[in-house]
Structure 1
Amino acid sequence: MDKALSFAAFLLLTRLSAATLYDTIIQTKYGAVQGYPAFSSETAGNLTHWQDVAVWRGIPFAATTAGKNRFKEPQPASPWNSTLYASSWGPVCPSATSDTGNYTINEDCLNLNIWSAANFTDSRLPVVMWTYPAASTAADSLFNGGGMADKGIVFVNYNYRSGSFGWLSHPDLSKEFYKVSGSNSSGNWAMLDQFAALEWVYNNIAAFGGDPDHITVMGQSAGSAATQHMLNSPLTKGLIVGAIIESGVRDPQDPLCSSLAENYITLADAELQGIEYLKSLNVSTIEEARELPMDDLISGSSTPGSSSSFSFTAVLDYYAMPDTYYNTLVKGLAHNVPVITGNTKDENGATYNLSITVSEYLSDMNETFSGVWLDHFLKQYPANDSVTARGAYDSQWTDRSKVGTWMWAQLWNTTRTASVYTYFWDHAPPGQNQGAHHESEINYVLNNLYDTDLPWESADYTIAEKMNSYWVNFIKTGDPNGLDSNGNALVEWAATNSSKVVQHVGDGWGNIPISPPARVELFEQWFATLPYF
């Protein structure tokens, strides 16, 4: 036999014998890792390749953030010599969650998890990197990536700093950061963690069967804010091909921008807060703050559930964040990649089965809309008893989200050619009383109903099949349209343009009006009178 043909046959045989990556020692740029089967048995739901899915947990993507690395940009991870057996979740960052009983919490927390059903390291499957919402961790079962991996996506999630650990700014920190970055700014340590995770994925994901040139970033709520920063920042240029921003973007003239997940503060305000924060800790220098026990900073920071007066959030530094949201849109500073973004029915003010009187409704409206605007909004959202008050209250909040997201897309379209696809989710998962609440779409999008303890019904698996298929198609092609995993055509999802429509997903499918035209026009007119964010 010809030697060349013999060698080719050997290579083919080798590839055919490599069934799953959890049987393979994976070489990263920092050291070798060993994965594990993600499933020990078949699960309920829409998984067909569950036996192929490997998972690697707790892989460090940066060094510890304790001690001299506290309040500093993430430092490179130290290489390891022996094989890292990646079977356990890595530590969770302090202040990330109030559920401290189920996790190891320390400052050596910059680690990530990977799910892949690739059969070979050179499979070059599309990649998605998920950022979790506030008060969560990468280990939360809600963010299990096995359902995505089953559909041919390499799924990555990761931990990042929050509270003062992730967002503390101070004049001395700005001077320190200037020496390494050329930017006289500080505070966005969490954002830089997020960017560092993305860079790690770009540099290493090929070894896990992923395509480093085809990474989509994705997140919900605080995670959607992180995704928006990756979409906007010059520091992530060339690293992403798409972004999925769930419960995140809205018109930059909507006052809610200053209070919801995408909020930020100026560098001057952040530095003043940092000075006051150090005083509250009874220290006067950054060096002293770096020597404090971790728990001292947890009790004094904006830990989920705390009543702290300090609010640690993103900082407009003109480094990681290039400009205000409005300027970023109209100046075309964001990466020109396709975007999915949208909202759920019962979030951002809208509250399922709310008990409210007409008097309470009128009082709330009066706090939001002043002068002649109050009359205009009450005409569009009238109420004369508790039932109509509840409906009007929820409708104006839901419409505000839908209209605001549509208006964001219009601003995007003035400087960018890549498509924006907007959605409205209205399915209430079973076994709970919050309706189509904030985060309620995540199980369906990630196709992981198997890992959340709710009394799922057959309709939920059908919805998950469709939702996940839209997301998978987008991650693979930049367009959510096409077929589901069973080969059935999905209902057409039109890209957002001048038409005032949004894609209905959940309890129905297809384009629907954002809201009655008079309500859309009213929000447009009201937003136009307000300052840009």
Structure 2
Amino acid sequence: MVTPPNDRRPTEGAPSRRTVLGATLVATASAATVLRLGTPAHGLTAADEAGAGRTPVGPVGVETGRLSGTATALPGVTVFRGVPYAATTAGEHRWRPPRPAPTWSGLRAADTFGDACPQGIPPWVTSPPTMSEDCLNLNVWTTTAEPRSRRPVFVWFYGGRFNGGFASDPAFDGAGLARRGLVVVTVNYRTGPLGFLTVPQLTAESGNDSSGNYGLLDQIAALRWVQRNISAFGGDPDRVTIAGQSAGAASVLDLVYAPLARGLFHRAVAESGALGPHDPEIAALASSYRPSLIVAEAQGTAWAAQRGATTLAEMRALTVAQVLTDDNQNDSSVSSPVNGSPPLFRPVLDGYVLARSYGDSLESGLHNDVPVLTGNNKDESGASSTPATTLAAFRDLAARKYGSMAEEFLSLYPAADDTEAGEQANASIRDGFRVSTSLWATAWARRAKSPVFTYFWTHAPPGAAQIPGMTGAYHGSEMNYVFDNLYATDRPWTAEDRRIAETMSSYIVSFATHGDPNRAGLPHWAPARPDQFSTMELGDHWRRIPDAGAGKTDFFRRYYPTQPTW
């Protein structure tokens, strides 16, 4: 595994848009979301506002009882909030797989979002959710409670560095997509140490010689709940799309690779997601995982000892505050050339939930063979709309990352001063990630029959940065357009933004419906072809673009195989 020296950052003074693995995503969503569903905001038409408050659909019956929903700000759309899909994880159930949700009698009003899983809240989040360890709940947006409707289902897993996030975030408001014919589900799952702690005692008690992937097990439990219950909301359990951004995208891909998730979904959307298994930046980005269960157990043991706990009983007796103290630690044993170190608490290659490495899964063809839609954003993963690197730092990065190929790299991306260095750093990062994603698609095609649709998002949302440094087509900037929920975020949206949201969400609805984003009236989006290095630009334009110039593509195609495999 790549473990370069940890004594440098290539773009000093400029944090990477994807280094934080969705911490920026939580910021994007939460800082933009003092509004809640049902509050008029930019993007709602007068007809929408006039239709708000109409009679909701339902009630519905699920395996644990009957539910009533509540009307949304969009006419005809009902939301069922805080629906339990599993039981509490508190006390003796901490660091255990999810258990069935309890039943209830009578009609339960699903009109309030459920508790979020415990996590540290960044200072820019103005309206933090209520949190508890009884947090395994989900939300459903629909326009019908008729089981025979069999609408496509869109299940969303939030990002947040595997350290936070919550399904009630208005950035993931599902009413816009529900109005377009999908049944939308957003899922709470455990993150940070509560979701990914690994210690030998947990491995020993598990019965399958594994520990540390409780957050992924939560997601699998939610998908099983969807299979058993979504028809009550008009959903089709045979057309389930799993989707996410950043750490949510990594979750989606982990489930694509996971034998335990087989048959639970039928398409996958990974925003800021798939990279070629030889890409060294995986070490720090959302798709990073802990490659050694033994090392992860040692790290977990040291973490528990810092809190005075050596037995499972002592660990489970820790207060939530004690568990969350310094919960956003980095894993200093791993780093990447551009994006630094990943979070300590993240998925682990345990042989059970994550049964194989990414490279082995792709090589063996033992992944879940479903259509995949995945891509990257223009200003993330080290690229920035306001680059701050210097010529010296750029040349130093070239030497450290490319070694014997550094001179060739610098001839392809020449720079004579700091301004040119920033421009070439951006260009090389963007080219490298586009080629990397195409290499992933090529590896996928060797064993899979289902298509891959790759993209490059280029549109910058309007208005001032709501979080410092988040400008341009930043990490997570596509989400309001994907969900067609501009009404949920308070920005000065324009008619052009609404047109972009219309097109982007139409691609998503078509993909969730048919496994193909194309439909009449949309610019054609060709699937990726093996060794065809181009991608679909989305946002400012809707067109096929090359991943990089011919000589640059050839450079990255030769460079990546020299790196270890994830």
- Fold shared per TM-score above 0.5: yes
* Structure 2 SS opposite 1:314: coil
The residue that corresponds to 1:106 in the other structure is: 132
**Conserved? CA contact 2:285–2:342, under 8 Å:** no
Out of 466, 479, 494, which is 2:516 matched to?
479
Task: Give unpaired runs (5+ residues) of structure 1.
Answer: 1-19, 40-49, 484-488
d(CA) in 1 for partners of 2:369, 2:457? 26
Cα RMSD for the two superposed structures: 1.8
Out of 66, 70, 86, which is 1:36 matched to?
70
d(CA) in 2 for partners of 1:286, 1:302? 22
d(CA) in 1 for partners of 2:453, 2:72? 32
Q: Does 1:170 align with 2:199?
A: yes
The residue that corresponds to 1:349 in the other structure is: 382
Q: Does 1:127 align with 2:153?
A: yes
Query: Which string of whole-angstrom CA distances, capped at 9 and with x for unpartnered residues, describes residues 436-475 of structure 1?
Result: 0000011101100011011101100011111111111000
* Structure 1 SS opposite 2:167: coil
The offset of 1:291, in angstroms, is 1.1
The offset of 1:151, in angstroms, is 0.4
The residue that corresponds to 1:216 in the other structure is: 241
Rate the CA distance shift 1:23–1:411 in 2: closer, same or farther, 3 A: closer
**Conserved? CA contact 1:253–1:531, under 8 Å:** yes
Q: Does 1:409 align with 2:434?
A: no
* Structure 2 SS opposite 1:64: coil
Higher relative contact order (CA 8 A, sep 6+): 2
Q: Does 1:398 align with 2:430?
A: yes
* Structure 1 SS opposite 2:269: strand
Rate the CA distance shift 1:66–1:300 in 2: closer, same or farther, 3 A: farther
Q: Does 1:493 align with 2:525?
A: yes
The offset of 1:21, in angstroms, is 8.1
351-360 or 81-90, larger mean C-alpha shift: 351-360
The offset of 1:366, in angstroms, is 2.7
d(CA) in 2 for partners of 1:57, 1:336? 32
The residue that corresponds to 1:361 in the other structure is: 394
Out of 86, 97, 106, which is 1:62 matched to?
86
Letter in 1 for 2:218: D
* Structure 1 SS opposite 2:422: helix
Query: Which string of whole-angstrom CA distances, capped at 9 and with x for unpartnered residues, describes residues 18-60 of structure 1?
Result: xx98242211001111101111xxxxxxxxxx31100011111
d(CA) in 1 for partners of 2:548, 2:282? 21
The residue that corresponds to 1:160 in the other structure is: 189
The residue that corresponds to 2:286 in the other structure is: 261
- How many residues are paired up? 492
Q: TM-score, normalised by structure 1?
A: 0.90
The offset of 1:310, in angstroms, is 7.3
Q: Does 1:88 align with 2:112?
A: yes
The residue that corresponds to 1:281 in the other structure is: 307
The residue that corresponds to 1:47 in the other structure is: none
The residue that corresponds to 1:27 in the other structure is: 61
Task: Decide which structure has the larger Cα Rg and report it.
Answer: 1
**Conserved? CA contact 1:61–1:76, under 8 Å:** yes
**Conserved? CA contact 1:143–1:446, under 8 Å:** yes
d(CA) in 2 for partners of 1:219, 1:478? 16
Give the 5 Å matches for 1:293-442: 293-302=319-328, 311-370=344-403, 372-433=404-465, 434-442=471-479
**Conserved? CA contact 1:96–1:136, under 8 Å:** no
The residue that corresponds to 1:246 in the other structure is: 271
d(CA) in 2 for partners of 1:310, 1:217? 23
Query: Which string of whole-angstrom CA distances, capped at 9 and with x for unpartnered residues, describes residues 266-296 of structure 1?
Result: 2111111111111111011011110111110
**Conserved? CA contact 2:120–2:327, under 8 Å:** no
**Conserved? CA contact 1:56–1:115, under 8 Å:** yes
Rate the CA distance shift 1:29–1:340 in 2: closer, same or farther, 3 A: same
Rate the CA distance shift 1:342–1:386 in 2: closer, same or farther, 3 A: same
d(CA) in 1 for partners of 2:563, 2:257? 23
Q: Does 1:506 align with 2:539?
A: yes
Letter in 2 for 1:465: E
Task: Give unpaired runs (5+ residues) of structure 2.
Answer: 1-53, 331-340, 466-470
Q: Does 1:140 align with 2:169?
A: yes
The offset of 1:300, in angstroms, is 4.1
**Conserved? CA contact 2:278–2:563, under 8 Å:** yes
Identity, in percent, stands at 39
d(CA) in 1 for partners of 2:86, 2:120? 17
Q: Does 1:118 align with 2:118?
A: no
The offset of 1:175, in angstroms, is 1.0
**Conserved? CA contact 2:120–2:324, under 8 Å:** no
The residue that corresponds to 2:95 in the other structure is: 71
The offset of 1:531, in angstroms, is 0.9
The offset of 1:138, in angstroms, is 0.9
